[in-house]
Amino acid sequence: MWDVEDIKEACDRIERNTVYGAFECCQHFFSSIMGNEDILKLRGFFEDRRLTWNALYKAWDSAFSDRIPSADESTLTKILSDRAAKEARALEYFDGSNCLPLYHELENRSFREILPYIRTHYRLNLERLFEKYEYNPEFVETLFSLCEMRMKKLEKKRSVTPSQIEILHQVLQEDIFARVDSWAALIEYVTLLVPKDASENSARNIHDTDNLYDVLMALQILRYEGRKKYPISQITTCSLCWRVADTSNAKKKDKAHCHVHHYEKTAERPARKKAYERALAVNRKLRYAHSSRSRLLAALTKFFPYDEKIIQIGLDLWSWWEYEPPQSVCPSCGDQVFTDDFWEALPHVARFLRQQGCPLESLKAIIEAMMPLDSSADGQTADAYDRWITAWTNDIRYFLPVMAHAEAWLAIYEELYPSLPVDR
List C-alpha distances in Å: 222 to 83, 103, 155, 190: 11, 12, 50, 19
**Can you state the angle between helices 137-157 and 164-171, rounded to 10 degrees?**
110
pLDDT of the residue at 97: 64
Q: Residue 322 — pLDDT band, cuts 50, 70, 90?
A: low
Separation between Cα atoms, residue 423 and residue 86, nearest integer Å: 34
| Confidence band, pLDDT 50/70/90 cuts, at residue 271 | low
Position 326 scores a pLDDT of: 52
Residue 74: partners with Cβ closer than 8 Å, 6 or more residues away: none
- Beta-carbon contacts of 256 under 8 Å, excluding residues fewer than 6 positions away, are 236, 237, 238, 239, 245, 246, 247, 249, 250
Asked if the model's pLDDT at residue 325 lies above 70, the reply is no
Q: Which residue has the higher pLDDT, 316 or 98?
A: 98
Mean per-residue pLDDT, 149-171: 78
Q: For the whole model, what pTM was predicted? A: 0.57
- pLDDT at res. 328: 53
Give residue 98's region: left, alpha or beta (phi > 0; psi -120 to 50).
beta
Is pLDDT of 344 > 90? yes
Neighbours of 93 (CB within 10 A): 23
Q: Confidence band (pLDDT; 50, 70, 90) for 1? A: very low
Q: What number is the average pLDDT over the span 54-65?
A: 87
Cα end-to-end span (Å), the chain: 65
- Rounded to an integer, the average pLDDT of 151-174 is 78
The listed range with the strongest mean pLDDT (71-80, 221-230, 313-322) is 71-80
Lowest mean pLDDT among 111-115, 170-174, 203-207, 245-249: 203-207
Name the residue with higher pLDDT: 291 or 180.
180
Say yes or no to pLDDT of 278 above 70: yes
Res 266 pLDDT > 50:
yes
The answer on pLDDT for 350 being more than 90 is: yes
Give the pLDDT score at 305: 66
Is the pLDDT at 169 greater than 50? The verdict is yes
pLDDT in tens, 125-159: 888 787 777 666 777 788 888 888 888 887 777 66
5 pLDDT higher than 70? no
Instruction: Note the pLDDT tens digit of each residue in 210-255.
Output: 788 888 878 877 776 655 444 456 778 888 898 988 777 666 666 7
Range of lowest pLDDT (159-163, 176-180, 322-326, 364-368): 322-326
